[in-house]
Amino acid sequence: MPDAAHLANWTGPKIAAECSATYNVYRAAKTDSYRAYFTAHPELRDEHHEYKARDLASALPEDWAGLADYLPAAERHQHHLSGNSSQVLALGLLGVGLRLDPSLLWLWDALSPLPPPRTPAPSCQFEARLDPDVLDEQPRQTSVDLLVGDPAALICIEAKWVEAGIGSCSCEGDAPLTSRCSKRVLDRPAYWKVATEVFHLPEREEGSPCPLSFTYQAVRNVAAARALAAEEQAPVFALIYDAENPYFAGCGNWPGWPAALAATVNDLGSPVRFASTSWQQLISLVPLDGPAAEWASEKHGLHKPAS
């Protein structure tokens, strides 16, 4: 019998029933905090929006506008200038950390235990879009929030902040709730292979909630890690999340995405490792200068411990 935290015991509607009310309060508070931030810094705010930056440089830490070079315009999320954007939070904190300490030993510590890195500067790419033939995806290829490569490990990092969960599929209407999935998703065998072989999810049944729908982004990351890792590399799916977000911290009977993914993916003999850390844990490890630490604290409520 799978652990109660195992994703085979859950569906999207079950998780939402446990979390949605608490999450709505949480999200409203987050949004209010960003309204207050931009009210205090009107020079950074989009004149037409209460909690959105006027441009990417204004959304990033002071003196770190150059981090925008890591994020191609075509890969920027529709709402990346919102205070709630996980994409820009990741770019700001992880990008500064990468610039100040490219060894990434701080990241390895945060995601421990992982195989020790074998190179002094692992490769990093924000919003790494896979080639169509990697997972037989055409159109809409998987894009990894941060792809880290070292001879010891290939790490696909998913960064979350205010999102209501890990990221579901985009099948129209109520299709995911009744397994009336789009042909595009059905025709991607790499997804379904991971869903059964790694996640051990139940078979898809017409009229029942689709097991791939609510695990979609996690499955894609695991599939990417498996496909991209060389024979000697450990494929790793890693999650960075807000410890205050009910969908990740847990709510009611729902254990939270980090606990559920650990119970699901890290089975004995699993071909992929799962690792996770919260932004609250990472902030004590990632190297930041004064402006970046102030930005993390004032804008996002992430306070670096005094040294």
> Domain boundaries in the chain?
7-300
Q: How many CB atoms lie within 10 A of CB 65?
A: 14
Q: Is 2 helix (H, G, I), strand (E, B) or coil?
A: coil
Supply the pLDDT for residue 307.
Answer: 66
Supply the pLDDT for residue 306.
Answer: 79
pLDDT single digits (tens) 77-90: 999 999 999 999 99
Q: Which residues of the chain have pLDDT under 70?
A: 1-2, 172-176, 179, 268, 307
In the structure encoding, which two tokens stand for residue 50, read together? 């209460």
Q: Is 233 helix (H, G, I), strand (E, B) or coil?
A: coil
Strands of 131-193, DSSP E: 143-150, 153-159
In the structure encoding, which two tokens stand for residue 6, read together? 């195992």
CA 244 to chain centre: 15
Could you report how far apart the first and last alpha carbons of the chain are, in Å?
46
Supply the pLDDT for residue 173.
Answer: 67
Supply the pLDDT for residue 170.
Answer: 75
The amino acid present at 64, given as its one-letter code, is W
Q: Is 179 helix (H, G, I), strand (E, B) or coil?
A: coil
- 268: Cβ–Cβ under 8 A, 6 or more apart, which residues? none
**What is the pTM (predicted TM-score) of this model?**
0.95
- 185: Cβ–Cβ under 8 A, 6 or more apart, which residues? 169, 171, 191, 212
Q: Is 265 helix (H, G, I), strand (E, B) or coil?
A: helix
- From residue 279, how far is each of 44, 215, 248 by CA, in Å? 23, 21, 12
- 57: Cβ–Cβ under 8 A, 6 or more apart, which residues? 65, 68
| Tokens 């844990």, residue located | 281
| φ, ψ for residue 132, nearest 5 deg | -55, -30
Q: How many CB atoms lie within 10 A of CB 274?
A: 23
pLDDT single digits (tens) 238-295: 999 999 999 999 999 999 999 999 999 987 678 999 999 999 999 999 999 999 999 9
H or E, element range at 99 = helix 86-100
- Please give the Cα distance from 225 to 145 (Å, whole number): 12
H or E, element range at 273 = strand 273-278
Find out whether 149 and 119 touch, Cβ atoms under 8 Å.
Answer: no
Supply the pLDDT for residue 172.
Answer: 65
